[in-house]
Structure 1
Amino acid sequence: MTAQSNARRPNGIHQSDNGYYFAYGGTCKMATQDEIDSALGKVLPHFGVKEMKKQQKEILKCLLADSDCVATLPTGFGKSLAFQTYIPVRRVLDSTHTGRMIVCCPLVSLMHDQVDKLSSIPGIAAAYRGFSESSDKLIQEGSVDIIYASPETLVGDPLWRTALQKLKVDVIVIDEFHTIATWGHGSDGTEKEAFRKWFAHIGELRSLFPDACILALSATCTTQIRKRVLKVLSLKENTYVINMSPNKTNIKLVVAKVPNTVEIAMSWLVDGLRDLKNHFPRTVMYCQTIRDVTRMYTYITEEQPDLVKQVDMFHSHTPQDKKMDILQGLKDTSSSLRLVVCTSALGMGVDIAGFDSVIIYGNPGNTVDLVQEIGRVGRGGHMAIALLLHNSFHLRKSDTEVRNVYQLTECRRMSLMTSFLTVKQLDELKLETGCHTCCDICAEACSCGKCSMLKLEELFAGVEPVLSDSSDNSSSTDFYYTSDSGGESDF
């Protein structure tokens, strides 16, 4: 880890020959590397992990040293482990520690998933605001170690702001920090048309808890968004930055234009579900609105009524108990669940096991959301497929970067990563592209003689292609679909 300036900030991170300083009880004490490793050896087995990755350790050491940190790590990397181990490790190092952690989280499904996992870890009390009256009371009483809440609660609710300020908070985690820009501001960069305006005010947490360090985490953040977020959060000058590429080389990108009518565009999917049933590849299918999710689910289940156990839908208005059933099915590789049709409410950190296929029907408006949806699958490292389907209306609401991914005749992966990587990283990525597992364009030019397809791509390969036309670039305001509520939410 890069050494930070102790002269500028006494409690900042400082690497010496023996270890790292960390602050507690108003003093600064040294924890040697051996002491930290010993503490991790006692804590990690409870999380089902043998060893932390290098970047996870760097984040943990920042927190122990009371230093701000911004980390952009790929989907499925295990970002949450770095901060979830902080309190138990801290207590091994200092048995008198009583500090708490606040995790600012964008989605209820993500909060529930993480709290559910932490419920099996001894010595940690975790809860999210809104789960029940009893858990809310425990949070306010100071009986919860890791408190999950939305921006609407943390900075938008005066009563909760006052209640939480009474607690001793060591660490504030801003999970999925890119949403500060993508949800906290409208397309014009202001709050006027913001999906969830309180995301733009998360930086107020610094003034509410001046002694706490801040950890900002994301899997997808463009260089432009990162600069904006750093300013919003009022991070300190010696903030430690970890930036890994969001590119997942095991996911092949395939783009195709389909007919405007759902029944014609997705008949191949229904045929595949009918023929393969429980052998159909476990697939997540993203639509951009609740209306499209409902339309797609209704079409599939009306065509094949006997598939109701294999197909389900998930969006912000799905009943909570149904959401929990679906989330459990996503974790259980032996589940009969084969296809989940969903909005972005299913995403950002939700544990999805054994899913190596994703269909994105109707492209997201920006590359951040596109990378998020692609990254839901292939988490086990196996080869995976992302099938990006669009009709002649979909691209009209996208930004230039998304249209480039869908329309350019060059490598899709290079186009998608342009907004996320440095020039050096892009040069390195260029050396890795060109094979049939990269994207459909690279596959067409591949001459390895060993090209193969995953089952979902095979099922779609027999569909007659729809040629692109000038309507894709139309600036018409008569859009094919609109959201009933102006956006998808889950809070």
Structure 2
Amino acid sequence: MAASVQLKETLHLFHVDTLKPEQETILKCLEDKKDCMAVLPTGYGKSLPFQLYSVMLNRRSPAKKVVVCCPLIALMQDQVQKMSEIPEFRAAYAGSSTATDVKIRDGEVDLIYASPEVLVGDQDWRESFRKLDVDLIVIDEFHTIATWGEDEDGSQKTAFRKWFSYLGELRPLCPNATLLALSATCTVKIRNRVMKVLNLNPNETKEIMISPNKENIKIVAAKVVNDIEEAMLWITDGVADLGQNFPKTLIYCNSITDSSKLYSYLIDELPDCTSVIGMYHSECTKSSKDNILCELQKEESPLKVIICTDALGMGIDVVKCHSVVLYGGSKTIIDLVQKIGRAGRDGENSVALILFNQYNIRQADGYVKDILKTKDCRRSALLSAFDRDGHVQETSASEKHNCCDICASTCTCEECPMLKLEELFTSTGENISEMELSESDEDTESYNLSDYEDESYMMQHMDNLDV
């Protein structure tokens, strides 16, 4: 009875009335000291159970700490800010300031966020965490262990951020801690890899899995020409015509170079609309990034088009955003699902527009290639990567127009809705979506991927951690 009363009181602090069944299961695992791996869709509220638990734990045992391994500073900032609203509770992330770091080491912070580079890559921090009474370790966005860490086969390819592969060392550093692994995207292969890295026993770990299918997001893909200005002309025309009425849209690019090039192009072409357009990547100033994050939290904001890289990614709650453009597609199915999931977090009808050229196809993994090349249903092709039971539920005939562009072409309802972004692209894109997918394009341009693959670059910019 006392526990239920405490939970009810804590839920009130988070302005939540009840928990979803999967959230309840996670919280029960934490209370029972049972390891848990949960894969829940974007916007589902994966963080709430451990945040609730950390507050209740603090009320019962103030000396005990919860440590959250988090891949991006933007995500840490977002969650720390939200937790700062809880009275008599202290949350912070390692590296935010010298004063904060001292408080963390002295045990004055209840919920501690840190990157893998801090948690296992820094010997001083390792010793500090070993001295704390850590009750729970949370690995947030655990798929990054497989996608950003070292390859399991021991290949010589440089890891994007190698310390993701060593997070299993947290177990002996904090032997009494329960482990919770969270993600919105997890293929069967990644699940097996993460279980091994984190030293999780499949027979003793509670697994909670929900399909990453976001039925409210229509998936549209089209092949475009290599020239950014020509491929994105429809955006320029749309912003020029609609201004503040342009739908809030995230445009993801695969490199800082591409995002900067597209931003410069739009600003040059639309000098009277600069307040509508923003850019977010790891090399932007802190004040600029903070301003973008602030504007994205508002239902109504003058900022309508945000050109960004993966730096604006996992766990960021973008309010009232129903349009996402993936310029260049994605190299992996995990990145693709993460980017698509930025749209429609409120459950409203949304669209994800994937624009790609032949170079992008050659760089993509097999799952992404299947989505781009399929002649059937893009949603089914996407879900096949996460299907553990050998089947994917088909979209009902009455929902085909909201499924993907291929299914929409076969819909017979004669009242197919189309969001403004797709309408703009369709009306100005002519026939580029129907360009033949050849084996090679003679005019394919080269992309500089060194920013993502060179470890020395990463170490020079590790203060950002949001590349």
1:125 is matched with 90
Partner of 2:40: 73
Residue 451 of structure 2 aligns to a residue whose secondary structure is coil
In structure 2, C-alpha distance between the alignment counterparts of 1:315 and 1:433, rounded to whole Å: 40
Q: 2:345 aligns with which of 368, 379, 388?
A: 379
d(CA) in 1 for partners of 2:353 and 2:359? 18
Is the aligned partner of 1:38 residue 2:18?
Answer: no
Conserved 8 A contact 2:36-2:179: yes
Gap change, CA 1:39 and 1:255, over 3 Å in 2 = same
Offset at residue 482 of structure 1 (A): 1.6
Which residues of 2 match residues 328-477 of structure 1 at below 5 A? 328-423=294-389, 426-430=391-395, 435-462=400-427, 463-466=429-432, 467-469=434-436, 471=438, 473-474=439-440
Amino acid at match of 1:443: A
Partners of 2:297 and 2:318 within 8 A in 1: yes
Corresponding residue number in structure 2 for 1:205: 170
Question: Shift in Å at residue 364 of structure 1?
Answer: 1.1
Among 133, 136, 147, the residue aligned to 1:182: 147
User: Any residues of structure 2 matched to 1:133-212 within 5 Å, and which?
Assistant: 133-186=98-151, 190=155, 192-212=157-177
Amino acid at match of 1:130: G
Q: Which amino acid aligns with 2:451?
A: S
Residue equivalent to 1:6: none
Distance in 1 (CA, whole Å) between partners of 2:247 and 2:34 is: 44
The separation in 1 between residues aligned to 2:179 and 2:15, in whole angstroms, is: 26
What are the superposed Cα offsets for residues 103-162 of structure 1, whole Å, 9 maximum, x if unpaired? 000000000100011111113210001111111111011000111000000000001101
CA 1:90/1:416 → structure 2, altered by over 3 Å: closer, same or farther? same
* Contact 1:396/1:475 (8 A) holds in 2: no
CA-CA distance at 1:321 after TM superposition: 1.7
Q: CA deviation at 1:476?
A: 9.6
Q: Distance in 1 between matches of 2:447 and 2:151?
A: 19
Counterparts of 2:306 and 2:89, CA distance in 1: 32
Residue of structure 2 in register with 1:275 after alignment: 241
Alignment of 1:223-302 (within 5 A): 223-236=188-201, 237-302=203-268
Corresponding position: 1:56 with 2:23: yes
What is the rounded CA distance, in whole Å, between the counterparts of 1:69 and 1:271 in structure 2? 49
Given the superposition, is the C-alpha separation of residues 96 and 267 from structure 1 closer, same or farther in structure 2, using an over 3 Å criterion?
closer
Query: 3-state DSSP class of the match of 2:400?
Result: coil
Residues 451 and 187 of structure 1, relative CA distance in 2, 3 Å threshold: farther
Q: 2:51 aligns with which of 84, 87, 97?
A: 84
CA distance in 1, matches of 2:157, 2:171: 24
Between the two proteins, the alignment pairs up a number of residues equal to: 454
The offset of 1:322, in angstroms, is 1.4
Relative to structure 1, the CA distance from residue 98 to residue 386 in structure 2 (aligned partners, 3 Å threshold; closer, same or farther) is same
Deviation of 1:429 after TM superposition, in Å, equals 4.2
Supply the distance in 2 between the matched residues of 1:181 and 1:287 (Cα, whole angstroms): 22
Name the SS of the counterpart of 1:446 in structure 2. Answer: coil
Report if aligned partners of 1:291, 1:484 keep a CA contact under 8 Å in 2: no
Distance 1:210 1:191 in 2: 32
2:400, 2:407 within 8 Å by CA — same for their partners in 1? Answer: yes
- Cα drift, residue 470 of structure 1: 5.2
Task: Report SS of the residue matched to 2:393.
Answer: helix
Whole-Å separation in 1 of the counterparts to 2:232 and 2:136: 47
Higher relative CO (Cα under 8 Å, sequence separation at least 6) belongs to 2
Relative to the length of structure 2, the TM-score reads: 0.93
Instruction: Measure, in 1, the Cα distance between the counterparts of 2:62 and 2:231.
Output: 58
Aligned CA distance change for structure 1 residues 289 and 186 (closer, same or farther; 3 Å)? farther
* Equivalent residues of 2:143, 2:185 under 8 A apart: yes
> Amino acid of the residue matched to residue 204 of structure 2?
N
CA contact (8 A) 1:283 1:357 kept: yes
Counterpart CA distance in 2 for 1:212 and 1:448 is 55
| Structure 1 residue 478 displacement after superposition | 7.5
Name the CA shift for 1:470/1:410 in 2 (closer, same or farther; >3 Å): closer
What amino acid maps onto 1:216 in structure 2?
Answer: A
| Structure 2: runs of 5 or more not aligned | none
TM-score (norm 1): 0.89
After the TM superposition, which segments of 4 or more aligned residues of structure 1 sit over 6 Å from their partners?
475-478
Is residue 331–residue 360 contact of structure 2 (8 Å, CA) maintained in 1?
no
Conserved? CA contact 1:256–1:465, under 8 Å:
no
CA distance in 1 between counterparts of 2:450 and 2:280 reads 16
Residues 429-465 of structure 1 deviation map (CA, whole Å, 9 limit, x = unaligned): 4557861000000000001122010000110111112
Deviation, structure 1 residue 84: 0.4
Contact 1:103–1:174 (CA under 8 A) maintained in structure 2: yes
Question: C-alpha separation between the residues in 1 aligned to 2:269 and 2:64?
Answer: 55
Segments of structure 1 that go 5 or more residues without pairing to the other structure are 1-33
C-alpha contact (below 8 Å) 1:411/1:434 kept by paired residues: no
Q: Is the contact made by 1:253 and 1:440 (CA closer than 8 Å) also made in structure 2?
A: yes
CA offsets, 1:407-436, max 9 Å, x none? 111100000110112236x34345578610
- Give the fraction of aligned pairs with identical amino acids, expressed as a percent: 46
SS at match of 1:436: helix
Provide the C-alpha distance between the structure 2 equivalents of 1:283 and 1:470, rounded to a whole number of angstroms.
Answer: 27
